[in-house]
Structure 1
Amino acid sequence: MTRTEELFLALRQQIVEGKIPHGHKISEPELANQFQVSRSTLRDALARLKSIGLLVSQPNVGYSVISLSTEHLMEIFYVREALEGMACRLAASNITQEQLQNLRDLLESHESSVQLKSGVAYIQEERDLDFHFVIVQASHNPMLIDLLCEKLYFLVRMYRYQFGMVSDRAKRAFFEHQHIVHALSVGDGELAEFLMRRHISASRDNVERNLLVNKGVIS
């Protein structure tokens, strides 16, 4: 792994977890000193972070962490509903038996979670341990995989992480995942797309309601 890759991964994690706060102006000299890297290595890492939507830049100003907002989050939900619905339709035709079994195993591991059993949260780890990530991969469509698993994925995780994982939809979301897997297992692309779109739409409505109740959580 190159020094640029190591730095990119470290900064990505800090931004997702809020250790570098959203809206924060990036100080290149400070980060270069902290990580003991050259400015060119740092700039390569920062450019990659911008390419996946975690940073923005302005001429003569430099890089800043993206500012989180309710409006931006809702935009992401609408994009996810359309694109993940399409990915789910394609996965119904393209998913391998190994990927299907991985999804079943994943849900089985999720079901044993203490937080899910108590109905307070549905926590998923990153990438191959994330239900939505696995389904997009199973679409076998390179453009969708790039858009959803690279360019949007960690932005979505940033919102999840910094909003918290508590949800009164935890058990319902898990049951919806089970229905989606069943549609994939019988190769019903139309049903799989419908269920995924409805699932993401319900999550969006739930988040929006919670934000209205808990005003001030995010600007």
Structure 2
Amino acid sequence: MTPPLHLSLAGQAVDVLREQVLTGKIPPGSRVNEVEVAQQLGISRGPLREAIRHLASERLLVLVPHRGAFVPDAGADDVRALFELRTALECAAAELAASRRTDVDLVRLREVCAESRRNYRAGQPFPYRLDLAFHQALLDAARSPHIAEQVRLVQQRVVLLRSGLEDDPSHQQASMEDHDELVRAVEDGDAARASAVMRRHLSRVCAQMLASLGR
């Protein structure tokens, strides 16, 4: 019996390769060097190619016939389309979170916000993991697994496109303030306000990315 992907060599390669793509270690527009990556992971190219196909199914890689796998580059149309979808999904999730959250959910949301501020005050950039952790905590509070799965795929692609852009400290500060305001709306059970804050937050993030692209 073939082991599940997450337990196999290919599954381990998926996790490592995804991290390299999302952190920009393999920059947007670059080709995945299969020989080099296989050597880094200590695996053969068979499991690596399986991992590449998996990430291509998530649209984190693009397979080009006779040329290999490439990390997608950012384009203005891609950014706008992704944020149209992300806004529809995450505004709905914010509304549901305000209606369904528990005290445990609120504790987790506050913990992520506090950790983000500690990193920021220590002079560290606002890492994508903490941004994803906040949105994941909000999705957990919404208790809508189908929305959560679609959001995860869209968020990954946004992180990928942002990996090639420069950090903006003022944008990081604004994002943390948005997250704090979202927590207050969810805590108050105000679904309309939670949705409005999420819409404003994502609109600002989209505009910042487009400005960084010079589009």
Range class of TM-score, shorter chain: 0.7 to 0.9
Which residue identity is paired with 1:177?
H
User: What secondary structure, in the 3-state scheme, does the structure 1 residue paired with 2:62 have?
Assistant: strand
Cα drift, residue 49 of structure 1: 0.7
User: Does 1:123 find its partner at 2:103?
Assistant: no
Residues 190 and 64 of structure 1: CA distance in aligned 2, closer, same or farther (over 3 Å): same
Match of 1:92?
Answer: 98
Cα drift, residue 13 of structure 1: 1.6
Distance 2:24 2:143 in 1: 32
Q: What TM-score do the two structures reach when normalised by structure 2?
A: 0.82
Match of 1:75?
Answer: 81
How many percent of aligned residue pairs carry the same amino acid?
28
Equivalent of 1:177 in 167, 176, 179 = 179
Write out aligned runs for 1:26-175 (5 A): 26-28=32-34, 31-115=37-121, 123-126=126-129, 130-149=133-152, 151-175=153-177
The structure with more helix, counted as a fraction of residues: 2
Which residue identity is paired with 2:86?
R
Cα drift, residue 62 of structure 1: 4.1
Q: Deviations over 1:41-60 (max 9, x none)?
A: 12221121112221122445
User: What secondary structure, in the 3-state scheme, does the structure 2 residue paired with 1:57 have?
Assistant: strand
Unaligned runs of 5+ in 2: 1-6
Cα drift, residue 30 of structure 1: 5.2
Unaligned runs of 5+ in 1: none
8 Å Cα contact 1:32/1:39 also seen in 2: yes
Once structures 1 and 2 are overlaid, which stretch shifts more, 99-108 or 55-64? Answer: 55-64
Distance 2:27 2:151 in 1: 23
Which residue identity is paired with 2:9?
R
Distance 2:155 2:109 in 1: 18
8 Å Cα contact 1:23/1:65 also seen in 2: yes
Residues 208 and 138 of structure 1: CA distance in aligned 2, closer, same or farther (over 3 Å): same
Two-structure CA RMSD over aligned residues (Å): 2.7
8 Å Cα contact 1:122/1:171 also seen in 2: no
